[in-house]
Structure 1
Amino acid sequence: MESKGQQDSRVKETRTVDSERTAVSRQPGVVNGGKDGRKDYEDSPLSGPAHVATDRRVMEELETSAEKGLSSEKAKTLHAKWGDNILEPPPKPSPFKLLGRQVLNAMTLVLLAAMAVSFGTQDWIEAGVIAALVILNVTVGFSQEWKAEKTVAALASVGAPVAQVLRDGKEVDSKVEEVVPGDIILLTPGSIVPADGRLLDGFVSNLEADEALLTGESLPVAKHSEPFDDADIPLGDRLNMVYAGSQITKGRARAVVVGTGMNTELGKIAQAIERKVKTKETGWKAKWLKIQVALGVKGTTPLQMKLNKLAYLLLSIAIILAIVVVASTGFTDIDDSIATYAVATAVSILPASLIAVVSLTLATASRELAKRNALVRRMDAIEGLSIVTDICSDKTGTLTVGKMVMKKAWVPAKLRNPENKESGAVDSSEGQTYEVETGSDPYYPRGVVRYIDNDKPLVTEVSESGGDGSSDTEDGAGPDVVQPTDMENNLANMTLCASLCNMATIHRNKEGIWQANGDATEIALQVFAHKLGRGKPHMTHARKSPHSVKTPSQPMQRTSSIYSANERAVPIDGHYKLVIEHPFDSTVKRMSTAWRFIKDDGSENDKECLVFMKGAVERVLDRCEAIGLGNDSVPLDETRKAEIIARMDALAAEGLRVLCLSGKVLNQSPEAVKAIPRDELEQGLRFLGLAGIYDPPRPESRGAVLEATQAGITTRMLTGDHPATASAIAKAVAILRDDHPQGAVMTGQQFDALSEDQIDALPELPVVIARCAPETKVRMVEALHRRKIWGMTRFAVMTGDGVNDSPALKRADVGVAMGLAGADVAKSVSDIVLADDNFASITRAIRKGRGTLMNLSKFLLYLLSGNIAEVLVLIVGLAFLNDEKVSVYPLSPVAALWINTIAAGPPALALGLEPTAKDAMEKSPRAYKTIFTLWWYIDLIFYGILIGAVSIVNFVIVVWGRGNGDLGINCNEGSYNDSCETLYYGRGTTFATLTIILMVHSLECKHLEKSLFQMDLMDNKLLLWSAFALSLSVFPVLYIPKISDYAFQVLGLKWEWGIVFGMVLVYLVFTELYKLVRRRLNKVEAGGPKVTEKNLPKFETIAP
C-alpha cells in the first residue's frame, strides 16, 4: 500500500531530497483547539505533550519499559488513581423528559386551565372535549419524538473490548477499562486502539492507522516514532501518536499509553459535547434569562418562541374576555350558564387544535423526510431548516463519496510526425494528460479515458450514470477517447504497471454490486486498469488456448463478473505470473513486483522478467535512470526530472494525490530475480507516468450546493484534509468560486489563532477551513451566531459523520449526522440523521422545512382568523338583551367549542400538508425569517372581522326578521321553551354561516394572494374533502333532536338557508377584492430595480 506515499506526493514539508514534494505546506494546528495552542497538563500523567518528547523521555516519566511494561501491582495502583479507561456514557432518552416537554407547553397549560374551570362548573361536555384535545396534543408530540429517540438510542461505544498489553514482561489480554497510563500496548492489523499512545522507536513496522472518525482524513495515515519540534501541530499530523477509537489497518507497533478515559482525545471530544454554552449575562439578567428559557420564549427555535409568546398573549386575552363576560352581569347573580359562557368565550380565542395540528404537520413532514433518507430526531429541527443561512459540511463521505478514484494520468509522449504517431524518442516536456471519467459507483470497472490538453484545469465532477453506476459515455467513441486495443505504448505500459504492481481486487457480488478489497489507492489503480482492458485478473489468467475460456471443460479462473467487465479487454496470448513482491514500506515509500510472461502454449522466455514499481514521486524518480520502456527511451537527466516534478506539482495543486509508476525489463531468470536484494532490484528503472488520485465529489453535491446558493444559503467546508485537496473539491462542488475574496480558504491553525474580535472583524468568514480540529468547527458555529445577514442572526447547520464532528453538531442550530458512515456519538447529538449519507438530502430537507413553515403560516392564519371571528360573535352577543335585560348568546358554549375544535381542526391539518411551493428554494432565508409578517397580521384582522361581521349580520336578520327581536326567556340554560324559538333559529343560522364560511375560508388560505378560482384545488384533496365533509356536518347538528335543541341549542333552518349562502357569497366577493388589492399593492412595492437573490447584498454585520 502506498497511502503515505500519496500524502507525501502532495504535502510538502521541506524541499530537501529526503522530503516529499507537495503543492502546499503543512500548516500546524492547535492542541485541543485552544486559541493559543497550549494545553493544561495538570490532570495528565505527563508534564507536556507526548508527541514532542522522545519515547524514552515519555517512558521515563511514566516509569515503564518497552520490553517489560508495567508490573501488575503498579498497574493496579495506577488504575486506582486514574480510574477506568471508559468514556462517560451518554444519557439514555427518558420517556418522562419527553413527556414533560410535551405537557409543559404554553398552549397545553392554557388548555389545562380551561379544562379545570369546565370541570369546576360541571360542564362535562366542554371539559371532556378539552381533555381529549390535551391528550391528542401530548400523544402525537410524544410518540413522534420517542420513535425518533429509540431509533438512535442504541449507542455503541467507540473502543475495543480487549487490548493486548505487556505486563510483567508478558503479553496478556487486558480488559480495555483496565488499561492505564504507562501500559505498553501491542498493535496489529485490525486492532482498535484502546487508549492514546506514543509510538516506541524500534517497534514500529509499516504501521498505518485509520483516524477518519477523529480527523476526517479519508485514507489511513502512515505512522513513525520520531518526535516533533512543534507542540501545536494538528491531531492528524502527530504521526508518532495513536489515538483511542482509531483502527490499525496495516503493520505492527508498540506504544506507551499516555491518556485514558476522558483524558484521551476521544474523551475531550465527549467533554466538548456536554460543555454548555456560557452566557455573558449576570445577576438579575441571568435569572430573568432562566425564567424566559423555562417559559419557552428563549433558548428554542424562532417558531417555538413565537408560538409560546402567542400562547401567553392569547391566555391574557382569554382571561380578559372571561372577565368581560362576567362583568356584563354587573358581577351579580353569576350562575353556571354565565360561568360556562365565560369559559367558552375564553377558550374560543385559543386555537385549541393548534398543538395537535403543529405536531401532526411536523410529524408528517418528518415521515416524508424519512422516506427521502432523512431521519428527524427532533421535530422542531424541521422549522430550523427553513431559516438556515449556512451549511457547515465535512468533506469526506459527505460531499465526497469516501472512495478513491483515479482522475488523471500523465505519461511522457513520443515525438510524432504526421505519418507515424509512434515514431521518435520520448520527450517528457511534451507529455500527454488523460482524464478518467467515473460513474456514481467508483468501483464500476468501465468508463471512458480521454486525451485532454495538458493545461486543461481539472473538472472534478462525477459523470452522470445509470443505476448500475456506469458512466453514460463509457462506450463512447471519438478522437479524444482512448481505445484499449489501440493506445499509445507509454500509456499501455503505465496501465500494466497499475494493474500488476497492485494487490487490490474488485468483484461483483451476488446482488450485482461491485465491491473491492485492498488499499483504497490500489483499488483506484486497479479500476483504472480494468477500464483500459488490462485488469489484473485478465492479465494473470492462465489459458491453454485463446479459446479455452469458452470451453465448459476448462475451469474459469475468473468470475463471470470479471468477464462482463472486460468485454473490451485487450487481446493477450499468454499471462503474467508473479515472481516476487516487495510490499509497500513507509520508510522507503514504494512497493515493487516482478513478473514473468508465459504464453498460452506454455512456452516462456526464462531469461526475462518484468519489474514494476510505484510509490511517492521523488522516491521512485530517484530510482529511475530513463524515461519509457524499449529502445526509444531517453535518459532521465536533472532537467527532465525537474519537468516531471513540475507536472507532479501541477497535479497536486489540483488536489490530487500523485503516484509515480515505473518499470524495467530484467534479462535474468525468475530464480535469479528472487535472489536480488530489494534495494538492488529497485534500481535502474524507467519512468512510465504519473497517476492522480482523489476522493471524488458525490454526483449530487454540486447541484445541491448550487441550489443552496440560489436559496441564499452559504455552504462552508470544514475538513481535516489538506488545503489543496479541500480547495479542489470546494471548487468542484461550487463552494469556492472565483469571486470569493482572499482569505476564503484558511487552515485550522490560522482560524484558531484569531481571537473572537479578530474573527468578527473579518469582512467574510472563510468558506473552506482545512486541517480543521474539532474545536475549530465549534468556533465557526459560534462565529456565525455572532453575525447577522439580511437583518437576521445567522442560523447554522453542521453536517458530519465522525466523532470529531460531534461537539459542533450539538452546538449548531441543526446538527445533521451521517447514518451509514457516521459514528454513534455523532448520531446521538444530532437533530437529523441522513440514512444515505447524501449531502443532497440536506437541501431536500431544507426545501421541505421551508414548505412546512409556509404551511404553518397558512393554517395559523386560518385558525386564528376563525378564533377572532368566533370571539367577535360571542362578545358582540353580550349586547343582545332580552326582556329581562339578560344577555342572550348568539352561539351556545357547545356550538362555540365545536367550531373551535371539530370544525377547525381537519382543514387546519390539511393546510399543514399543502404541497411545497415550486419556488421555495428561490427565496432567501429572510423570506422565512418569521411567519408573522405585517401582511399576515393584516390578513388576520381582515378575515377575522369579515367572517365575524357576516355571521352577526345573519343573526340579526333572523332574530328581527322572524320574531321582531324577541329573544325569549331563560334560553341560556339549555332547556328549550316556546319563547326561545326565534333565538334558536338565529343561533342555528349563525352556526351554519360561521361553519360553512370557515370551510370556504380554508380553501382561500391555500394561497394568500392568488384568487380561489385560479388555484388547483385538487392538489390537496384532503383539504377539499375535509371542507366538504365538515360543511355537511352542519345538517345533523341542526336536524337531529337532542343534539340540536339540547346540546347546541339550535333549530333546523328553513328559509334561513338563503341568507346563509348569501353571506357566503358576500364573503367571497370581499375576499377576492381584498386579494386583488393586495396583489396590486405588492406590485407597487416591487417597483423600481428588481431585487433578486443574485444581487442581494452579501455583506455581513456583527450581531450586537
Structure 2
Amino acid sequence: MGKKATAVDLDPETPFHTFTVEQTEQHFSSSILEGLSSAEAANRLQTYGYNELEGNGGVKWYKVLWRQIANVLVCVLLVATVLAYATKDFAEGSVILFIIIMNAAIGFWQEFNAEQTMEALRNMSSPTAQVIRDETRVTIPNNQAVPGDIMIFEDGDVIGADCRLFEIFNLETDEALLTGESLPVQKTLARIEKEDEALGDRLNMVFASTTVVKGRAKGIVTNTAMKTQIGKIATSLLSVDTNEQTPLQKRLNKLAWFVFLAAILLVIVVFAVHSFHYSNEVAIYAISVSIAIIPEGLVAVVTLTMAFGVSRMAEFKAIVRRLSSLESLGAVTNICSDKTGTLTQSKMVAVRMWFPGDGYYRITGTGFVPEGEIYRQGELDNEDNASEETLVPNGSGSNHFLRTLQAASLCNMAELRRTLHPETHGEWTALGDPTEIALQVLVHKAGLAKPDLIEQGYRLVSEFPFDSSVKRMSVLYEAPATTTAPASHYIFMKGATERVLGCCSAWRDGDVEHSLKSEKGGDRAEFETKVFGKMDSLAEKGLRVLTLAYRKFTVVPDVDLVHGLVRDEVETEMVFLGLVGIYDPPRAESRPAVLQCYEAGIRVHMLTGDHPSTAAAIAKECAIIPEDISIKNNPLVMTAAQFDGMDDDEIDRLEELPRVVARCSPNTKVKMIAALHRRNLFATMTGDGVNDSPSLKAANVGIAMGQSGSDVAKQASDIVLTDDNFATIVQAIAEGRRMFANIQKFVQHLMSANVAEIVVLVVGLAFKDKSQNAVFPMSAVEILFLNMITSSPPAMGLGLEPPHESNMREPPRSAKQGLFSFEVIMDTFVYGLAMGALSFASFVTVIFGFQNGNLGELCNVEWSEDCEGVFRARATAYACMTMLILAHAINCRSLRESGWSPTNLRTLKHNRMLWMSIVVGALLVFPVVYIPGLNRSVFKHSAMTYEWGLVALSLVIFIAFAEVYKLVKVKLMKPLGLEANGEAEMDRMRTYTLQLQQTDSAIEHKQR
C-alpha cells in the first residue's frame, strides 16, 4: 500500500450515487473530457495509495508450521523427550522426537497446500485499466488507478474501481459477487435521491471486481483499494480470526493438559514411594510411568486419520481447507442451502406454454441438448394424463404456435452451439442469459432455431435491450419476402407478464386477433385476470414465467430504423401471444439427500432469491416441506422481508424456524445463522458470492461452491464443493460423522492401553527388591513399544473404519459433548482396568506361583541369574498386554455391538489396515521375546515357555468380559439410534403448519 491519505481524506461512506456528474467532477477536481494530468495522478497515488486489496501477504509457511507444533500434547511429548535424554535414555528420546517431527511434517504439508490453493483474495482485481490521462486514452496497471480518474469499460472487462457513471451504451454488469443477484444489472445515469439505497439498486454506479456483461461505459473513479465495496468485505474478512480452534482441538488440548498433570502427579508418587531419594533407577521408573500415561501416537493418528478423510472427501468432490475443521461436520444439526445450482441443476428448461385458444403445451427434454417433443394438452394442464395429449410434429403447428416460437427465437441474444473440439466434439454448449438459453433450446425442439430463421432471410434491424425499469426486451426484424407477400417488418417482445400485457392492445387466438380496447375496459380486465391466473398456476409449479408478444411494424419513409426509433412509441399496440414456463429442475439426488438428512436428525433450510411460489414448489419437490400443504400463511415459508422484519425475540418465540426463505439477501442468511446459534444448534451455510462471505464465516461450517463460487467465498469457507451439489454436502456430513466416530474409537483404544499400563506400573510400586527399589512389571522400552508399535497401527486402522450402517440414522452428536462422552470415558477406564488387572495378574502369578516370590536385586537395570524370574514375569506381562491391546482393537469397532460375532468378524476383512496391524502386532511379540540380546539387554525380559498359557487364559477372560459388559450396556443404556425418520419429520411439519394456520384463522374470525 502507499502512504496514508493526508491532504484529501475520502469518506468511504460518501453517497456518490446521489451526486450529479457535475458534483462528482467538482468533488474530485477532475474533468470527464480531459481526465487527470499525469502529475496529479502521481500525487494522488501518494495520497490514496495503490489500488490493491490488503491481505495477509500470502501464506506464511512458518505460521502454518507453528500451528503444528504449538500444541499442548506435542509439548507433553517434548517434556518426555527431554526427560529421556536427561537420563541418557537416548533410544526412547529419539523415538519420541521422531514422532513429533513426523506429525508436524504431515500436518504442515496438508495445511500449507490447502492454504496456497485458497490464497486468491489479492488477485480479484483486473490487472490493467483504461483511463483518460492528459486528454489521452491510456492503459495503466490497475493498481495505479486513483479517485478522480476517468475510467473506460468495455464488454468483458473486470471493473477495477468503484465509479460514478457519466456515459453508457447498453451497459449491463454482473454484480453477483456483491449482491447475489444472478441476472445482469442494466445501468442508468439518473441521479438517485435515497442515500441508503441498496447496493444492487445504485444503477448509476459500477463496483470494483464486477464484470461488464454487455455494452460499454465511462465513469469517474470514486473509491479505490480497501474503500471500495469489495474492499469493505475484505476488511471484514481480515478482522476474523481464521485460526480459532475447533471443538476437537480444544478437547485434545484439554486431554493433553490432563495427561501432563497426571504424569507429574505419578512422577511425584514414584519419588514419594522411594522417600524422594533420587537415583537413575528411580528416575527411569518415573519416566516409564510418565511415558505410560502419554498417548504418544495420538497426535500422529489424529492427523493421519484426518488426512485420509480429506482424500476420501476429495473423491466425492468436497475439498477440505483445513484438517481441523473436518470433525465439525459430525455435529451439524441444520443445513442452510441455496437453491440454484445446489438443490437444482442450474439449467433452465422451458417445460410449459399457454396460448389463448390453444391452451397448454408440454415440452419434454432437459439441459442444453435440444432433444425433446412438444405436446398440446388443451385448456386443462393434464401433465399426468398423456393419453389426452397431442404431439406437435417438429416444424409444424398452428400459425399462432409458430408465431409465438418465432418471437421466442428472434427476441433472444443467446446462442446454442455444438463444440468442435476433438475431445468434446458434438457436445451442446450455450452462451448467454439462462432464460434466453432455455428459449433457444425450446425453439430448436420446435424446428425454429434462430440460425435457421436468419438463414431464411430474417434480419435484425434494431434492438431495445432488457431494462430492469421496464422488465422487457423487444427487437425489430425484417422478414423475407415470399411468393405471395413482399418483405415486411415485425416487432417481437418478451418480458415480465405485467409489463408486456401493458403494451398489448390485442390478443391472438389462432389466426384471429381480438381487440382489448373496450370503452369500459371490461374486456381487458377479464382477459388480464385470465392471464394472471394462468401465470400463477405455472408459478405454483416452480416455473419462472415469461410473456411473448408481437406486432407488424409499418415502416415510415425517411425514418432511421436503427437510431431514429423511440422505445415508448415502438412498444405499443402489441398483440399478446402466450406464456412460457421455465423450470430449473432439482437434481435427481437432492430429494433422497434431504430425506437422508431427516433420517439423521438434520433439518434443511432453503435460502433463495426466488419468488416464494417458485421456491416453495422446488422445496416440495426436494422434500424440504411436505407436498400436500398450502404455502398460504405457512410458517415454514417466509419471504426475507417477513423474516428480517422480526426482531430476535420474535424469532426466538417461533416454535420452528422457517424451512424456506424466499427473496433472500446476504443479511438474511447471517440473521438465520444467528437465530440457529441462539437455539444452540450447529449450522452449515452454503454460498458462492462475495456477499455470502459473512454468513459463511458466521456458520459453524461454511461451504463454498467450487464451480460458481467466488474466490472470496472460498477463502471464507471451511469446505469447497467442486460440483456445487447438495448431495455432496450430505456425503460430507456422513464422512464427518464417520471420522468423528472413528476418532472416538481409536482415542478410546489408545487411552485404554495407557490406563492399563498405569495400573500395572502404579500397583507394581508395592513390590520392592532386596535394595527396596520398586520392581518394574514392564520396562520403559516395553511401554514405548506397546504405545507406538503395538497400539498405534491398530488405532490407525480404527481411524479407517468404514461407516457403520447406522451412521446416518443417529442424531447429531452434541457440540458440547465433544470427543469424550460419558460412555467413551466409562469404556476407557473399564477396559483399561480389566487389561491392566489381567496383565498384572499374569506378572504376579509367574513371580509368586512359579518363582517363589524372588524379586532379585537391580533387576530393572540388567539381567542376572537371580533376576530370571522377574525377567520371565515381565515378558509374560508384556505379551499379555500386547495380546489384550490387539484384541481390544476389535472391541473398539463398536461401542455396543459384539466385536466377536461372526458378522462383525466377516466385515473385518474390509479394513485391511486393521486386521493386518493386529496380525503383525501379534507376530512381533515373538522376535521381541526370543531374540537374544534384544530381549534381555533392551526390553529387560527373557524368553517364555509355559507362561504362554497365562497369556491365552487372560485373552479368553478379557474377550468374555468385554462381551458381557456390552450386553449389560445394551440392556441398561439408552439406544443410540434415531427413532424419527423422513416421513415422521414430514408429519411433524404438517402438524405444525396446521396448528399455526388454524390459530391464524381463529384470530381472524374473532377479529371479524
Instruction: Report if TM-score (shorter chain) is over 0.5.
Output: yes
**Partner residue in 2 for 1:912:** 799
Query: Aligned Cα RMSD in Å?
Result: 3.5
The answer to whether the 8 Å contact 1:606/1:670 transfers is no
**Partner residue in 2 for 1:16:** none
- Which of 783, 788, 795 is residue 896 of structure 1 equivalent to? 783
The answer to whether the 8 Å contact 1:166/1:183 transfers is yes
**Deviation at 1:93?**
1.5
- Which of 828, 838, 853 is residue 940 of structure 1 equivalent to? 828
- Which of 399, 410, 421 is residue 500 of structure 1 equivalent to? 410
Given the alignment of the two structures, is residue 582 of structure 1 paired with residue 546 of structure 2, yes or no? no
- Which of 104, 107, 123 is residue 141 of structure 1 equivalent to? 107
**Partner residue in 2 for 1:248:** 212
SS at match of 1:413: coil
**Partner residue in 1 for 2:999:** none
Residues 438 and 109 of structure 1: CA distance in aligned 2, closer, same or farther (over 3 Å): farther
The 1-side partners of 2:239 and 2:948 are apart by 65
- Which of 511, 514, 523 is residue 437 of structure 2 equivalent to? 523
- Which of 299, 306, 317 is residue 362 of structure 1 equivalent to? 306
**Deviation at 1:209?**
0.8
Given the alignment of the two structures, is residue 1078 of structure 1 paired with residue 969 of structure 2, yes or no? yes
Q: Which amino acid aligns with 2:788?
A: T
Larger CA deviation: 742-751 vs 889-898: 742-751
The answer to whether the 8 Å contact 1:590/1:619 transfers is no
The 2-side partners of 1:452 and 1:1034 are apart by 79
The answer to whether the 8 Å contact 2:506/2:576 transfers is yes
The answer to whether the 8 Å contact 1:577/1:598 transfers is no
- Which of 613, 617, 637 is residue 493 of structure 2 equivalent to? 613
**Deviation at 1:710?**
3.4
Q: Which amino acid aligns with 1:137?
A: N
Which segments of 5 or more consecutive residues in structure 2 lack a partner in the other structure? 1-7, 517-522, 993-1008
The answer to whether the 8 Å contact 2:481/2:487 transfers is no
The 1-side partners of 2:379 and 2:830 are apart by 68
Larger CA deviation: 732-741 vs 97-106: 732-741
The 2-side partners of 1:968 and 1:1064 are apart by 29
**Deviation at 1:629?**
6.7
SS at match of 2:357: strand
The 2-side partners of 1:647 and 1:711 are apart by 40
Given the alignment of the two structures, is residue 514 of structure 1 paired with residue 428 of structure 2, yes or no? yes
**Deviation at 1:360?**
0.5
**Partner residue in 1 for 2:957:** 1066
**Deviation at 1:481?**
6.7
TM-score normalized with structure 1 length: 0.80
- Which of 340, 357, 368 is residue 443 of structure 1 equivalent to? 368
**Partner residue in 2 for 1:223:** 187
SS at match of 2:725: coil
SS at match of 1:392: strand
Larger CA deviation: 947-956 vs 647-656: 647-656
**Partner residue in 1 for 2:229:** 265
The answer to whether the 8 Å contact 1:213/1:246 transfers is yes
The answer to whether the 8 Å contact 1:596/1:670 transfers is no
The 2-side partners of 1:216 and 1:401 are apart by 18
Q: Which amino acid aligns with 2:406?
A: L
**Partner residue in 2 for 1:930:** 818
Given the alignment of the two structures, is residue 591 of structure 1 paired with residue 518 of structure 2, yes or no? no
**Partner residue in 2 for 1:289:** none
**Deviation at 1:989?**
1.0
The 2-side partners of 1:436 and 1:701 are apart by 23
The 2-side partners of 1:1035 and 1:260 are apart by 72
**Deviation at 1:164?**
2.7
The answer to whether the 8 Å contact 2:465/2:473 transfers is yes
**Deviation at 1:619?**
4.7
Given the alignment of the two structures, is residue 687 of structure 1 paired with residue 596 of structure 2, yes or no? no
- Which of 896, 906, 910 is residue 1019 of structure 1 equivalent to? 910
The answer to whether the 8 Å contact 1:608/1:669 transfers is no
**Deviation at 1:699?**
3.9
SS at match of 1:922: coil
**Deviation at 1:225?**
2.1
More helix, by proportion: 2
**Partner residue in 2 for 1:484:** 393
The 2-side partners of 1:617 and 1:739 are apart by 24
SS at match of 1:926: coil
- Which of 156, 163, 170 is residue 190 of structure 1 equivalent to? 156
The answer to whether the 8 Å contact 1:582/1:678 transfers is no
The answer to whether the 8 Å contact 1:156/1:824 transfers is no
- Which of 105, 112, 120 is residue 78 of structure 2 equivalent to? 112
Residues 923 and 450 of structure 1: CA distance in aligned 2, closer, same or farther (over 3 Å): farther
Residues 236 and 394 of structure 1: CA distance in aligned 2, closer, same or farther (over 3 Å): farther
The 2-side partners of 1:321 and 1:487 are apart by 91
Given the alignment of the two structures, is residue 337 of structure 1 paired with residue 296 of structure 2, yes or no? no
Q: Give the 5 Å matches for 1:378-397.
A: 378-397=322-341
SS at match of 2:192: coil
The answer to whether the 8 Å contact 1:45/1:259 transfers is no
The 1-side partners of 2:970 and 2:539 are apart by 56
The 2-side partners of 1:739 and 1:926 are apart by 34
**Deviation at 1:444?**
1.7
Residues 896 and 666 of structure 1: CA distance in aligned 2, closer, same or farther (over 3 Å): closer
SS at match of 1:217: coil
**Deviation at 1:935?**
1.8
Deviations 1:104-145 (A, max 9, x none): 111110010011000000011211221121122222222221
The 2-side partners of 1:608 and 1:798 are apart by 55
**Deviation at 1:718?**
4.2
The 2-side partners of 1:769 and 1:659 are apart by 23
**Deviation at 1:947?**
0.8
**Deviation at 1:704?**
3.0
The 1-side partners of 2:780 and 2:819 are apart by 31
Q: Which amino acid aligns with 1:708?
A: C
**Deviation at 1:358?**
0.4
Q: Which amino acid aligns with 1:446?
A: E
The 1-side partners of 2:432 and 2:773 are apart by 90
**Partner residue in 2 for 1:311:** 256
- Which of 606, 626, 629 is residue 506 of structure 2 equivalent to? 626
The answer to whether the 8 Å contact 1:617/1:660 transfers is yes
SS at match of 2:782: helix
**Deviation at 1:489?**
4.9
Residues 584 and 146 of structure 1: CA distance in aligned 2, closer, same or farther (over 3 Å): same
**Partner residue in 1 for 2:1000:** none
**Partner residue in 2 for 1:328:** 273
Residues 824 and 458 of structure 1: CA distance in aligned 2, closer, same or farther (over 3 Å): farther
SS at match of 1:628: strand
Deviations 1:532-573 (A, max 9, x none): 3433345555xxxxxxxxxxxxxxxxxxxxxxxxxxxxxxxx
Residues 607 and 909 of structure 1: CA distance in aligned 2, closer, same or farther (over 3 Å): closer
The answer to whether the 8 Å contact 2:155/2:216 transfers is yes
The answer to whether the 8 Å contact 2:769/2:858 transfers is no
The answer to whether the 8 Å contact 2:55/2:238 transfers is no
The 1-side partners of 2:534 and 2:848 are apart by 96
Deviations 1:651-673 (A, max 9, x none): 45766543322235679999999
The 2-side partners of 1:628 and 1:990 are apart by 96
The 1-side partners of 2:447 and 2:843 are apart by 87
Residues 156 and 64 of structure 1: CA distance in aligned 2, closer, same or farther (over 3 Å): closer
The answer to whether the 8 Å contact 2:399/2:511 transfers is no
Larger CA deviation: 807-816 vs 976-985: 807-816
The 1-side partners of 2:199 and 2:912 are apart by 56
Q: Give the 5 Å matches for 1:714-729.
A: 714-719=603-608, 726=615, 729=618
Q: Which amino acid aligns with 1:182?
A: G
Residues 976 and 380 of structure 1: CA distance in aligned 2, closer, same or farther (over 3 Å): same
The answer to whether the 8 Å contact 1:590/1:616 transfers is no
Deviations 1:780-812 (A, max 9, x none): 434433x13xxxx32232322222122332333
The answer to whether the 8 Å contact 2:400/2:511 transfers is no
TM-score normalized with structure 2 length: 0.87
Residues 671 and 360 of structure 1: CA distance in aligned 2, closer, same or farther (over 3 Å): farther
The answer to whether the 8 Å contact 2:375/2:392 transfers is no
Residues 671 and 859 of structure 1: CA distance in aligned 2, closer, same or farther (over 3 Å): farther
Q: Which amino acid aligns with 1:484?
A: P
Deviations 1:10-38 (A, max 9, x none): xxxxxxxxxxxxxxxxxxxxxxxxxxxxx
Residues 260 and 748 of structure 1: CA distance in aligned 2, closer, same or farther (over 3 Å): farther
Residues 103 and 668 of structure 1: CA distance in aligned 2, closer, same or farther (over 3 Å): closer
